[in-house]
Amino acid sequence: MPHTPAVARTLPALQRTLENLRKRRATVALVPTMGALHDGHISLVRLAKRGADKVAVSIFVNPAQFAPHEDFGSYPRTWKADAAKLAAEGVDLIWNPDAKLMYPDGFATRVEIEGPATAGLEDRFRPHFFGGVATVVAKLLAQVRPDIAIFGEKDYQQLKVVTQMARDLNLGARIIGAPIMRERDGLAMSSRNVYLTPEQRKAAPALHRAMKDVVRRLRQSEDLASALAAGSKLIADAGFKLDYLEARHAETLAPLTRIGKEPARLLAAATIGTTRLIDNMKIQR
């Protein structure tokens, strides 16, 4: 029978619980989340369980990564359901700090990242975002000091940013990426999918479908520009406003003009109604 996870909401409680968990040199995995947990998050928890003896999940809706016009206020908060899901997975610890604890009065530090954080993808449309993510992830890693931390490939650029930061700042945790979990119709799972109206929900898988079509065209040796143009049209025809649809080097995120031998990733962001969706996939030739 999985036991109920310990819930820590203060730093002393967190440290006490971690000391207990680390007895007999047990290793600890951290899965950082903003709650509103779905099966994508749960897949990260399962990967964490395979990679470490004990699993901590943080639930913190991080104000620092939302721009003023974004959805911080309305972001779904589903504590009871989240806690029940994590208990069912046998998670050991839920770290659930509040904004005052994370950013007390007088807080004056922000982690600045370059490299993957300035690749011209999400950063072009959400200039606040990666500074806020890097700052909160640096804090979470410093607070929990996990052996490994799991991040989803769903937020592909974020995974690269966090990996770079953990390496550059010697944060001590090994960052592990987890594959994207999708609904049966291909839509990437996201806490924000609840914003979609039934009609938009029906149209939303077109983003993933169009991306698969681009990958198929590339596999048939169509040139990159025309494959991307065809994909962009499919996405627009489904009612999306496209922010970007681009092929990038899978590791450095450097722009590609053609698909060659180097590992490549197709990345997209598009808005349907008022909901912005992101997705990405491997380009196989």
Q: Which residues are at the interface with ligand AMP (CB under 6 A)? A: 33-34, 40-41, 43-44, 151-152, 154-155, 178, 180-181, 188-191
Name the amino acid, one letter, at 121: L
Measured distance CA(281)–CA(170) in Å, rounded? 29
Spatial neighbors of 220 by CB under 8 A, at least 6 apart, are: none
Name the amino acid, one letter, at 222: E
Q: Is the dihedral of CA 151, 156, 161, 165 positive or negative?
A: positive
Q: What's the closest the beta carbon of residue 251 comes to ligand AMP, in angstroms? A: 17
36, 81 Cβ separation under 8 angstroms: no
Q: What's the closest the beta carbon of residue 61 comes to ligand AMP, in angstroms? A: 8
Radius of gyration of the CA atoms of the chain, in A: 19
Reply yes or no on whether 41 is catalytic.
yes
Nearer to ligand AMP, 89 or 155 (CB): 155
Beta bridge partners of 77: none
Nearer to ligand AMP, 212 or 217 (CB): 212
Of the listed 3, 38, 41, 69, which one is catalytic? Answer: 41
241 alpha-carbon distance from chain centroid: 22
Look at residues 251, 266, 154, 254 and name the one whose alpha carbon lies nearest to residue 209: 266
Nearer to ligand AMP, 41 or 228 (CB): 41
Say how many C-beta atoms besides its own lie within 10 A of residue 61's C-beta.
19
DSSP letters of 46-86? HHHHHH-SEEEEEE---GGGS-TTSSTTTS---HHHHHHHH
Question: Which residue in the block uniquely carries the two structure tokens 């690749």?
Answer: 119
Measured distance CA(227)–CA(278) in Å, rounded? 19
Q: What's the closest the beta carbon of residue 43 comes to ligand AMP, in angstroms? A: 6
Q: What's the closest the beta carbon of residue 189 comes to ligand AMP, in angstroms? A: 4
Phi, psi of 150 (to 5 degrees): -105, 130
Q: What's the closest the beta carbon of residue 194 comes to ligand AMP, in angstroms? A: 12
Nearer to ligand AMP, 71 or 213 (CB): 71
Measured distance CA(239)–CA(236) in Å, rounded? 5
Look at residues 225, 261, 220 and name the one whose alpha carbon lies nearest to residue 246: 225
Q: What's the closest the beta carbon of residue 27 comes to ligand AMP, in angstroms? A: 19
Nearer to ligand AMP, 134 or 218 (CB): 134
Nearer to ligand AMP, 179 or 255 (CB): 179
Which residues carry out catalysis? 41
